[in-house]
Protein backbone atom coordinates (compact mmCIF):
# COMPACT_ATOMS: atom_id res chain seq x y z
CA UNK A 1 0.00 0.00 0.00
CA UNK A 2 1.20 3.49 -0.72
CA UNK A 3 0.95 6.63 1.36
CA UNK A 4 -1.68 8.92 -0.17
CA UNK A 5 -1.88 12.70 -0.23
CA UNK A 6 -5.47 12.99 0.84
CA UNK A 7 -6.08 12.79 4.58
CA UNK A 8 -9.00 10.38 4.22
CA UNK A 9 -6.87 7.99 2.16
CA UNK A 10 -4.01 8.32 4.64
CA UNK A 11 -6.31 7.47 7.53
CA UNK A 12 -7.70 4.44 5.69
CA UNK A 13 -4.18 3.06 5.19
CA UNK A 14 -3.29 2.96 8.85
CA UNK A 15 -6.81 1.97 9.89
CA UNK A 16 -6.28 -1.09 7.71
CA UNK A 17 -3.03 -1.73 9.60
CA UNK A 18 -4.71 -1.57 13.00
CA UNK A 19 -7.77 -3.56 11.85
CA UNK A 20 -5.57 -6.34 10.48
CA UNK A 21 -3.73 -6.47 13.80
CA UNK A 22 -7.07 -6.58 15.64
CA UNK A 23 -8.12 -9.53 13.49
CA UNK A 24 -4.96 -11.44 14.35
CA UNK A 25 -5.36 -13.98 17.19
CA UNK A 26 -1.79 -13.26 18.27
CA UNK A 27 -2.44 -9.72 19.55
CA UNK A 28 -4.43 -8.45 22.50
CA UNK A 29 -6.82 -6.29 20.50
CA UNK A 30 -10.10 -7.36 18.91
CA UNK A 31 -9.98 -11.09 18.09
CA UNK A 32 -8.02 -13.02 20.70
CA UNK A 33 -8.20 -10.28 23.35
CA UNK A 34 -7.78 -11.02 27.04
CA UNK A 35 -11.00 -12.02 28.78
CA UNK A 36 -12.20 -10.11 31.84
CA UNK A 37 -13.26 -11.62 35.16
CA UNK A 38 -16.66 -12.48 33.73
CA UNK A 39 -15.14 -14.29 30.76
CA UNK A 40 -16.06 -11.53 28.29
CA UNK A 41 -14.06 -9.48 25.80
CA UNK A 42 -14.17 -5.70 26.28
CA UNK A 43 -11.93 -3.59 24.05
CA UNK A 44 -10.60 -0.03 24.13
CA UNK A 45 -9.42 2.03 21.16
CA UNK A 46 -8.67 5.62 20.20
CA UNK A 47 -7.50 7.63 17.24
CA UNK A 48 -6.20 11.18 16.82
CA UNK A 49 -5.69 13.28 13.70
CA UNK A 50 -2.76 15.70 13.95
CA UNK A 51 -4.11 18.16 11.40
CA UNK A 52 -7.57 18.75 12.87
CA UNK A 53 -6.58 17.66 16.42
CA UNK A 54 -9.87 15.75 16.58
CA UNK A 55 -9.99 12.60 18.69
CA UNK A 56 -12.31 9.62 18.91
CA UNK A 57 -12.36 6.76 21.43
CA UNK A 58 -14.33 3.79 22.73
CA UNK A 59 -13.94 1.96 26.03
CA UNK A 60 -15.10 -1.40 27.42
CA UNK A 61 -16.70 -2.13 24.04
CA UNK A 62 -18.07 -5.62 23.39
CA UNK A 63 -19.59 -7.14 20.29
CA UNK A 64 -17.63 -5.15 17.68
CA UNK A 65 -14.80 -6.86 15.78
CA UNK A 66 -12.73 -3.73 15.08
CA UNK A 67 -13.15 -1.12 17.85
CA UNK A 68 -10.76 1.31 16.12
CA UNK A 69 -13.31 1.69 13.30
CA UNK A 70 -15.85 2.95 15.84
CA UNK A 71 -13.28 5.38 17.26
CA UNK A 72 -12.54 6.66 13.76
CA UNK A 73 -16.25 7.05 12.99
CA UNK A 74 -16.65 9.12 16.16
CA UNK A 75 -13.79 11.33 15.00
CA UNK A 76 -15.21 11.80 11.51
CA UNK A 77 -18.73 12.51 12.81
CA UNK A 78 -17.35 15.14 15.20
CA UNK A 79 -15.60 16.85 12.28
CA UNK A 80 -19.01 17.45 10.69
CA UNK A 81 -19.96 19.89 13.44
CA UNK A 82 -22.73 20.04 16.02
CA UNK A 83 -25.77 17.76 16.10
CA UNK A 84 -29.41 18.83 15.95
CA UNK A 85 -30.48 21.44 18.49
CA UNK A 86 -26.85 22.50 18.91
CA UNK A 87 -25.75 19.34 20.72
CA UNK A 88 -22.02 18.64 20.94
CA UNK A 89 -21.14 15.32 19.23
CA UNK A 90 -19.46 12.71 21.45
CA UNK A 91 -15.78 11.88 21.10
CA UNK A 92 -15.62 9.09 23.72
CA UNK A 93 -18.26 6.38 24.25
CA UNK A 94 -18.18 3.28 26.45
CA UNK A 95 -19.98 -0.02 26.97
CA UNK A 96 -23.46 -0.60 25.62
CA UNK A 97 -23.79 3.02 24.54
CA UNK A 98 -20.74 2.67 22.30
CA UNK A 99 -22.07 -0.62 20.91
CA UNK A 100 -25.49 0.80 19.97
CA UNK A 101 -23.91 3.94 18.49
CA UNK A 102 -21.64 1.78 16.33
CA UNK A 103 -24.48 -0.38 15.04
CA UNK A 104 -26.64 2.69 14.37
CA UNK A 105 -23.81 4.10 12.25
CA UNK A 106 -23.48 1.01 10.07
CA UNK A 107 -20.68 -0.88 11.82
CA UNK A 108 -21.67 -4.58 11.91
CA UNK A 109 -21.81 -6.38 15.28
CA UNK A 110 -19.81 -9.51 16.01
CA UNK A 111 -20.72 -11.94 18.82
CA UNK A 112 -18.08 -11.84 21.55
CA UNK A 113 -17.74 -15.62 21.57
CA UNK A 114 -16.53 -15.42 17.96
CA UNK A 115 -13.74 -13.07 19.03
CA UNK A 116 -12.41 -15.45 21.70
CA UNK A 117 -9.73 -17.94 20.63
CA UNK A 118 -8.58 -21.27 22.04
CA UNK A 119 -5.54 -19.49 23.45
CA UNK A 120 -7.51 -16.70 25.15
CA UNK A 121 -10.06 -19.15 26.57
CA UNK A 122 -7.30 -21.42 27.86
CA UNK A 123 -5.55 -18.47 29.51
CA UNK A 124 -8.83 -17.38 31.12
CA UNK A 125 -9.47 -20.82 32.63
CA UNK A 126 -5.89 -21.04 33.87
CA UNK A 127 -6.02 -17.57 35.44
CA UNK A 128 -9.43 -18.28 36.96
CA UNK A 129 -8.04 -21.30 38.79
CA UNK A 130 -5.07 -19.29 40.07
CA UNK A 131 -7.34 -16.54 41.40
CA UNK A 132 -9.56 -19.08 43.15
CA UNK A 133 -6.50 -20.73 44.69
CA UNK A 134 -5.10 -17.36 45.81
CA UNK A 135 -8.40 -16.47 47.47
CA UNK A 136 -8.36 -19.74 49.41
CA UNK A 137 -4.81 -19.08 50.53
CA UNK A 138 -5.78 -15.59 51.70
CA UNK A 139 -8.55 -17.03 53.83
CA UNK A 140 -6.41 -19.76 55.38
CA UNK A 141 -3.03 -18.11 55.79
CA UNK A 142 -2.94 -14.30 55.96
CA UNK A 143 0.83 -14.28 56.18
CA UNK A 144 1.07 -15.74 52.69
CA UNK A 145 -1.24 -13.22 51.03
CA UNK A 146 1.47 -10.93 49.71
CA UNK A 147 3.60 -13.79 48.36
CA UNK A 148 0.58 -15.37 46.71
CA UNK A 149 -0.44 -12.14 45.01
CA UNK A 150 3.07 -11.49 43.76
CA UNK A 151 3.35 -15.03 42.39
CA UNK A 152 -0.05 -14.82 40.73
CA UNK A 153 0.80 -11.47 39.19
CA UNK A 154 3.91 -12.91 37.56
CA UNK A 155 2.16 -16.00 36.22
CA UNK A 156 -1.32 -14.88 35.18
CA UNK A 157 -0.30 -13.67 31.75
CA UNK A 158 -0.88 -9.97 32.45
CA UNK A 159 2.71 -9.41 31.38
CA UNK A 160 1.64 -10.05 27.77
CA UNK A 161 0.52 -6.52 27.05
CA UNK A 162 0.12 -6.86 23.29
CA UNK A 163 -1.57 -3.55 22.60
CA UNK A 164 -1.75 -2.63 18.90
CA UNK A 165 -0.67 0.86 17.90
CA UNK A 166 0.18 2.77 14.73
CA UNK A 167 1.69 6.17 13.86
CA UNK A 168 1.77 7.59 10.32
CA UNK A 169 2.74 10.62 8.25
CA UNK A 170 1.65 11.45 4.69
CA UNK A 171 3.43 13.33 1.89
CA UNK A 172 2.06 16.64 3.13
CA UNK A 173 3.47 16.15 6.64
CA UNK A 174 0.15 15.40 8.33
CA UNK A 175 0.43 12.91 11.20
CA UNK A 176 -2.05 10.60 12.91
CA UNK A 177 -1.99 7.94 15.60
CA UNK A 178 -4.19 5.08 16.77
CA UNK A 179 -4.16 2.42 19.47
CA UNK A 180 -6.33 -0.58 20.39
CA UNK A 181 -6.26 -3.04 23.28
CA UNK A 182 -8.20 -5.81 24.95
CA UNK A 183 -6.81 -4.69 28.31
CA UNK A 184 -5.21 -6.60 31.15
CA UNK A 185 -6.06 -10.25 31.66
CA UNK A 186 -8.80 -10.82 34.27
CA UNK A 187 -9.60 -7.10 34.50
CA UNK A 188 -12.81 -6.04 36.24
CA UNK A 189 -15.78 -5.72 33.84
CA UNK A 190 -16.15 -2.10 32.75
CA UNK A 191 -12.48 -1.26 33.26
CA UNK A 192 -11.18 1.19 30.65
CA UNK A 193 -7.46 1.31 29.98
CA UNK A 194 -5.07 3.84 28.49
CA UNK A 195 -5.93 2.88 24.91
CA UNK A 196 -9.14 4.90 25.18
CA UNK A 197 -7.97 7.82 27.33
CA UNK A 198 -7.06 11.21 25.88
CA UNK A 199 -3.33 11.90 26.02
CA UNK A 200 -2.54 8.44 27.38
CA UNK A 201 -2.99 5.89 24.57
CA UNK A 202 -2.09 7.98 21.54
CA UNK A 203 -1.34 11.53 20.49
CA UNK A 204 -0.94 13.34 17.16
CA UNK A 205 -0.19 16.99 16.51
CA UNK A 206 0.98 18.75 13.35
CA UNK A 207 3.71 21.38 13.53
CA UNK A 208 2.32 24.84 14.36
CA UNK A 209 3.45 28.16 15.80
CA UNK A 210 6.43 27.46 18.07
CA UNK A 211 6.37 23.68 17.54
CA UNK A 212 8.69 22.90 14.58
CA UNK A 213 7.89 19.20 14.43
CA UNK A 214 4.81 17.12 13.70
CA UNK A 215 4.57 14.33 16.28
CA UNK A 216 2.56 11.09 16.47
CA UNK A 217 2.73 8.77 19.49
CA UNK A 218 1.20 5.43 20.51
CA UNK A 219 1.70 3.62 23.82
CA UNK A 220 1.46 0.11 25.22
CA UNK A 221 1.78 -1.43 28.66
CA UNK A 222 -0.10 -1.38 31.94
CA UNK A 223 -2.98 1.03 31.35
CA UNK A 224 -3.09 2.29 34.93
CA UNK A 225 0.59 3.29 34.73
CA UNK A 226 0.15 5.02 31.40
CA UNK A 227 -2.99 6.87 32.46
CA UNK A 228 -1.51 8.21 35.68
CA UNK A 229 1.42 9.69 33.73
CA UNK A 230 -0.33 10.70 30.46
CA UNK A 231 2.69 9.23 28.72
CA UNK A 232 1.60 9.76 25.10
CA UNK A 233 1.23 13.51 25.50
CA UNK A 234 4.37 13.79 27.62
CA UNK A 235 6.41 12.05 24.91
CA UNK A 236 4.92 14.29 22.23
CA UNK A 237 5.85 17.45 24.12
CA UNK A 238 9.41 16.29 24.80
CA UNK A 239 9.95 15.25 21.16
CA UNK A 240 9.91 18.93 20.18
CA UNK A 241 13.45 19.09 21.59
CA UNK A 242 16.34 19.16 19.12
CA UNK A 243 17.62 15.74 20.23
CA UNK A 244 14.49 13.56 20.06
CA UNK A 245 16.34 10.40 21.08
CA UNK A 246 17.70 11.84 24.30
CA UNK A 247 14.42 13.62 25.01
CA UNK A 248 12.51 10.34 24.75
CA UNK A 249 14.94 8.59 27.11
CA UNK A 250 14.66 11.44 29.61
CA UNK A 251 10.87 11.38 29.46
CA UNK A 252 10.69 7.63 30.02
CA UNK A 253 13.00 7.98 33.01
CA UNK A 254 11.71 11.19 34.61
CA UNK A 255 8.04 11.22 33.62
CA UNK A 256 7.38 7.49 33.75
CA UNK A 257 9.85 5.24 35.58
CA UNK A 258 10.61 7.84 38.28
CA UNK A 259 7.22 9.54 38.23
CA UNK A 260 5.88 10.45 41.69
CA UNK A 261 2.48 9.24 40.48
CA UNK A 262 3.90 5.71 40.27
CA UNK A 263 6.06 5.81 43.40
CA UNK A 264 4.11 2.97 45.02
CA UNK A 265 4.52 0.61 42.04
CA UNK A 266 7.12 -2.18 42.13
CA UNK A 267 7.23 -2.89 38.40
CA UNK A 268 6.40 -0.09 35.95
CA UNK A 269 5.39 -1.42 32.54
CA UNK A 270 5.16 0.69 29.42
CA UNK A 271 6.30 1.14 25.84
CA UNK A 272 6.00 3.91 23.27
CA UNK A 273 6.52 4.47 19.55
CA UNK A 274 7.15 8.00 18.32
CA UNK A 275 7.14 9.43 14.81
CA UNK A 276 8.59 12.91 14.30
CA UNK A 277 8.84 14.83 11.06
CA UNK A 278 9.47 18.28 9.63
CA UNK A 279 9.80 19.73 6.16
CA UNK A 280 13.20 20.83 4.91
CA UNK A 281 13.48 24.57 5.34
CA UNK A 282 14.57 25.15 1.73
CA UNK A 283 11.89 23.01 0.09
CA UNK A 284 8.43 23.86 -1.15
CA UNK A 285 5.41 21.64 -0.34
CA UNK A 286 5.45 18.83 -2.90
CA UNK A 287 4.85 15.15 -3.40
CA UNK A 288 8.55 14.50 -2.95
CA UNK A 289 9.11 12.38 0.16
CA UNK A 290 12.70 13.58 0.29
CA UNK A 291 11.40 17.01 1.28
CA UNK A 292 10.34 15.52 4.63
CA UNK A 293 12.73 14.58 7.39
CA UNK A 294 11.21 11.68 9.35
CA UNK A 295 12.42 10.02 12.55
CA UNK A 296 10.94 6.88 14.11
CA UNK A 297 11.82 6.07 17.72
CA UNK A 298 10.67 3.68 20.42
CA UNK A 299 11.36 2.91 24.05
CA UNK A 300 10.03 0.45 26.62
CA UNK A 301 10.45 -0.73 30.19
CA UNK A 302 9.06 -4.19 29.42
CA UNK A 303 11.26 -7.19 28.66
CA UNK A 304 10.50 -6.93 24.97
CA UNK A 305 8.58 -4.96 22.38
CA UNK A 306 7.80 -5.76 18.73
CA UNK A 307 8.08 -2.84 16.29
CA UNK A 308 7.40 -2.64 12.56
CA UNK A 309 7.75 0.22 10.09
CA UNK A 310 7.57 0.96 6.37
CA UNK A 311 7.70 3.88 3.95
CA UNK A 312 6.07 4.60 0.62
CA UNK A 313 9.04 2.99 -1.15
CA UNK A 314 8.85 -0.27 0.81
CA UNK A 315 6.91 -3.27 -0.49
CA UNK A 316 6.59 -4.72 3.02
CA UNK A 317 7.20 -3.69 6.60
CA UNK A 318 10.50 -4.14 8.42
CA UNK A 319 10.06 -5.79 11.81
CA UNK A 320 12.28 -5.41 14.86
CA UNK A 321 12.17 -7.39 18.11
CA UNK A 322 13.43 -4.99 20.74
CA UNK A 323 14.88 -6.57 23.88
CA UNK A 324 15.14 -5.21 27.42
CA UNK A 325 17.76 -2.66 26.33
CA UNK A 326 15.32 -0.93 23.91
- The catalytic site residues sit at 163
Query: With contact defined as beta carbons under 8 Å apart, do 157 and 129 qualify?
Result: no
Please report, to the nearest 10 degrees, the dihedral formed by the alpha carbons of residues 119, 17, 318, 202 taken in order.
Answer: -90
Quick one: how far is CA 243 from the chain centroid? 25
DSSP type of residue 96: H
Cα separation, 182 vs 160, in Å, equals: 11
> Are the CB atoms for 57 and 63 separated by under 8 Å?
no
Q: Reading across the β-sheet that carries 214-221, which strands appear in turn? A: 202-205, 214-221, 270-279, 292-300
For residues 182 and 43, the answer to whether their CB atoms sit within 8 Å is yes
Q: Which of 119-147 are b and which e, b meaning 16 or more Cβ less than 10 Å from the residue's Cβ?
A: ebeebbeebeebeeebeebeeeeeeeeee
Alpha-helical segments (H) within 93-144: 95-104, 112-115, 118-140
Residues paired with residue 208 on neighbouring β-strands, in sequence order: 211
H or E segment to which residue 233 belongs: helix 231-238
Range 10-43 burial, b when 16+ CB lie within 10 A, else e: bbebbbebbbebbeeeebbbbbbbbbbeebbbbb
Amino acid sequence: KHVCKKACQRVSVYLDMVSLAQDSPFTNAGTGSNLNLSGEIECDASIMDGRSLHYGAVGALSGIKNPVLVANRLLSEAQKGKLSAGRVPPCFLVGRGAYHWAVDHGIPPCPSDQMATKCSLSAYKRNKRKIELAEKVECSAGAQVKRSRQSSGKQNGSGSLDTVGAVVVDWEGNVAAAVSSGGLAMKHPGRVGQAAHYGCGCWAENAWKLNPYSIAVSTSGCGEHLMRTMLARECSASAQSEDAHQALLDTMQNKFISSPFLASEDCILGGVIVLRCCRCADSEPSADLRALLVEFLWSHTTESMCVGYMSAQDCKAKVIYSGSTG
